[in-house]
């Protein structure tokens, strides 16, 4: 406790120099917590949005299906397994049939992914209730990104061409009955949604699907022959990897800031030990052991981090809470990277991030404070008292 008391006095006595180091360290605390909170918030939002719009509670994939290889789409279809047929009819699971197709908006040619989805599904937020047939026209949904790229508006008619199960080209006109806005580009960009039964008919694949999205509370069979279950760990792996990459990139910024603050602490320690040799000798003459003086200087350096924590709490807590409430607007086009992103990300500050940040700064500050202070243990007190440089 004495070391803390003395260290506090010494730091307060150092005035502006202490304040500057403490301020930079406090910014490090706030920035690290904010950045990590932002990535966690982004992750949190993206996962929730992807569950709502794309992955549900997991998916069964027809064994041939590879989302990254459009050439597999032609063979990746099979009848909806009888084990989950009832759930599909009740809308508790959402079978989706996939095919490559071409559209001709305003006379241009555009390749798309055609997706058939059960109208009665209650699993995904895709507004399938708008897939209402009028006469013999096929209703279709497009997301805002797709609508923008193809200049589609609600009520537009669009020519779609596809190949059926036998490889025969066929074409029909669809009517855009709804345009929806989704934070998940994977259900929007480059694709058109139509009713599953009509798509099965178009492709001559009655009762078939490429993948089946599970809803909440559905008891799924462990294994279905010809289908593979993909759980959240698998389906979010890409998202996790992308956020990790972005988080690593972002961490460079705050690590540079932290390194600067630590360098300032280190320099201050080196300078202190150089300039305060007489003081060190005096401490020893008054009964402190060299180890205690090393401890005092280490605590003094570490106390920068403690004071910075207090300062960070003063302005950081209101600031971080304000961000947590209002969120941070994401720049337009963020979702064009393919990563699910809401318009505003609300940072999420977990106890682990806060504790981890505090420990990171405390431990690194203690280390950079201790390293130069070790020199004291080799000092000759009689020389130090006279202020002789050692």
Partner 1 sequence: MENNTIIKIENLVKQFPVGGGTFTALNGISLSFGKGEFSGIVGPSGSGKTTLLNIIGSLDSPTKGEVTVMGTGSGGMNAKTASQLRKNHIGFIFQTYNLMSVYTVYENVEFPLLLLKMPASERRKAVLDAIEWVGLTDKIKSRPPQLSGGESQRVAIARAMVKRPGLVLADEPTANLDAANSHHILQTMETLNKELKTTFLFATHDDKVIRYLKRIVTLADGKVVSDESVK
| Interaction of residue 201 with partner 1, rule CB under 8 A | no
Contacts of 135 (CB under 8 A, 6+ apart): none
Q: How near is the Cβ of 376 to partner 1 at its closest, in Å?
A: 13
> Per-residue x/- marks for partner 1, 258-297, CB under 8 A?
--------------------xx-xx-xxxxxxxxx-----
The smaller minimum CB distance to partner 1, of residues 37 and 281, is found at: 281
Structure tokens at 88: 């599909």
Maximum C-alpha span of the chain: 103
Q: How near is the Cβ of 318 to partner 1 at its closest, in Å?
A: 32
| Interaction of residue 9 with partner 1, rule CB under 8 A | yes
Cβ–Cβ contacts within 10 Å for residue 229, how many?
Answer: 16
| Interaction of residue 375 with partner 1, rule CB under 8 A | no
Q: How near is the Cβ of 288 to partner 1 at its closest, in Å?
A: 6
Contacts of 9 (CB under 8 A, 6+ apart): none
How many residues are given for the chain? Answer: 390
The smaller minimum CB distance to partner 1, of residues 13 and 82, is found at: 13
DSSP alpha helices (H): ranges in the chain?
2-14, 16-50, 85-89, 144-150, 196-203, 232-235, 237-275, 277-285, 290-326, 351-373, 381-385
The smaller minimum CB distance to partner 1, of residues 291 and 344, is found at: 291
Query: At 64, is the secondary structure helix, strand, or coil?
Result: coil
The smaller minimum CB distance to partner 1, of residues 177 and 277, is found at: 277
Count CA atoms within 13 Å of residue 179 on its CB side: 15
10 Å CB burial of residue 255 (0-12, 13-18, 19+) is middle
The smaller minimum CB distance to partner 1, of residues 258 and 384, is found at: 384
Backbone angles phi, psi at 318, to 5 degrees: -60, -40
Q: How near is the Cβ of 269 to partner 1 at its closest, in Å?
A: 16
Subset of residues 290 to 349 that bind partner 1, contact rule: CB under 8 A? 290-292
Number of residues engaging partner 1 in binding (CB under 8 A): 26
Q: What separation in angstroms does the CA of 51 have from each of 65, 187, 215, 332? A: 20, 12, 9, 23
Q: How near is the Cβ of 281 to partner 1 at its closest, in Å?
A: 7
| Residue 255 CA, distance from chain mean position | 19
| Interaction of residue 14 with partner 1, rule CB under 8 A | yes
| Interaction of residue 72 with partner 1, rule CB under 8 A | no
Cβ–Cβ contacts within 10 Å for residue 282, how many?
Answer: 16
| Interaction of residue 16 with partner 1, rule CB under 8 A | no
- Which one of 260, 330, 346, 385 is in contact with partner 1 (CB under 8 A)? 385
Residues lying near partner 1 in the complex (CB under 8 A) are found at 2, 5-6, 9-10, 12-14, 278-279, 281-282, 284-292, 381-382, 385-387
């Amino acid at each position: 406790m004495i070391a803390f008391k003395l260290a506090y006095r010494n730091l307060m006595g150092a005035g502006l120099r202490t304040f500057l180091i403490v301020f930079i360290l406090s910014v490090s605390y706030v920035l690290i917590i904010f950045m990590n909170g932002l990535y966690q918030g982004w992750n949190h939002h993206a996962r929730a949005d992807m569950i709502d719009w794309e992955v549900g509670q997991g998916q069964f994939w027809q064994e041939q299906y590879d989302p990254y290889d459009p050439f597999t789409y032609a063979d990746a279809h099979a009848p909806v397994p009888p084990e989950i047929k009832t759930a599909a009819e009740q809308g508790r699971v959402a079978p989706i049939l996939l095919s490559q197709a071409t559209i001709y908006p305003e006379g241009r040619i555009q390749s798309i992914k055609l997706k058939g989805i059960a109208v009665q599904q209650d699993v995904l937020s895709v507004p399938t209730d708008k897939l209402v047939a009028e006469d013999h026209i096929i209703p279709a949904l497009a997301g805002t990104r797709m609508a923008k790229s193809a200049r589609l508006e609600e009520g537009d008619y669009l020519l779609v061409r596809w190949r059926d199960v036998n490889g025969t080209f066929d074409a029909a006109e669809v009517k855009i009955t709804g345009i929806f806005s989704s934070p998940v580009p994977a259900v929007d960009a480059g694709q058109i949604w139509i009713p599953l039964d009509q798509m099965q008919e178009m492709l001559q694949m009655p009762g078939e699907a490429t993948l089946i999205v599970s809803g909440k509370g559905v008891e799924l069979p462990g294994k279905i022959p010809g289908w593979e279950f993909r759980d959240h760990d698998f389906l979010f792996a890409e998202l996790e990897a992308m956020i990790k990459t972005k988080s690593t990139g972002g961490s460079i910024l705050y690590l540079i800031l932290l390194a600067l603050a630590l360098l300032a602490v280190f320099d201050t320690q080196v300078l202190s030990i150089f300039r305060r040799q007489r003081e060190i000798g005096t401490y020893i003459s008054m009964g402190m052991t060299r180890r205690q003086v090393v401890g005092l200087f280490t605590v003094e350096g570490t106390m920068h981090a403690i004071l910075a924590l207090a300062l960070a709490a003063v302005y950081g807590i209101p600031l971080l809470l304000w961000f947590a409430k209002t969120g941070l607007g994401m720049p337009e086009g963020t979702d064009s990277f393919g990563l699910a992103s809401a318009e505003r990300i609300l940072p999420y500050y977990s106890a682990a991030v806060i504790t981890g940040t505090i420990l990171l700064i405390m431990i690194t500050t203690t280390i950079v404070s201790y390293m130069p202070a070790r020199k004291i243990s080799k000092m000759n007190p009689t020389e130090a008292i006279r202020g002789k440089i050692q």
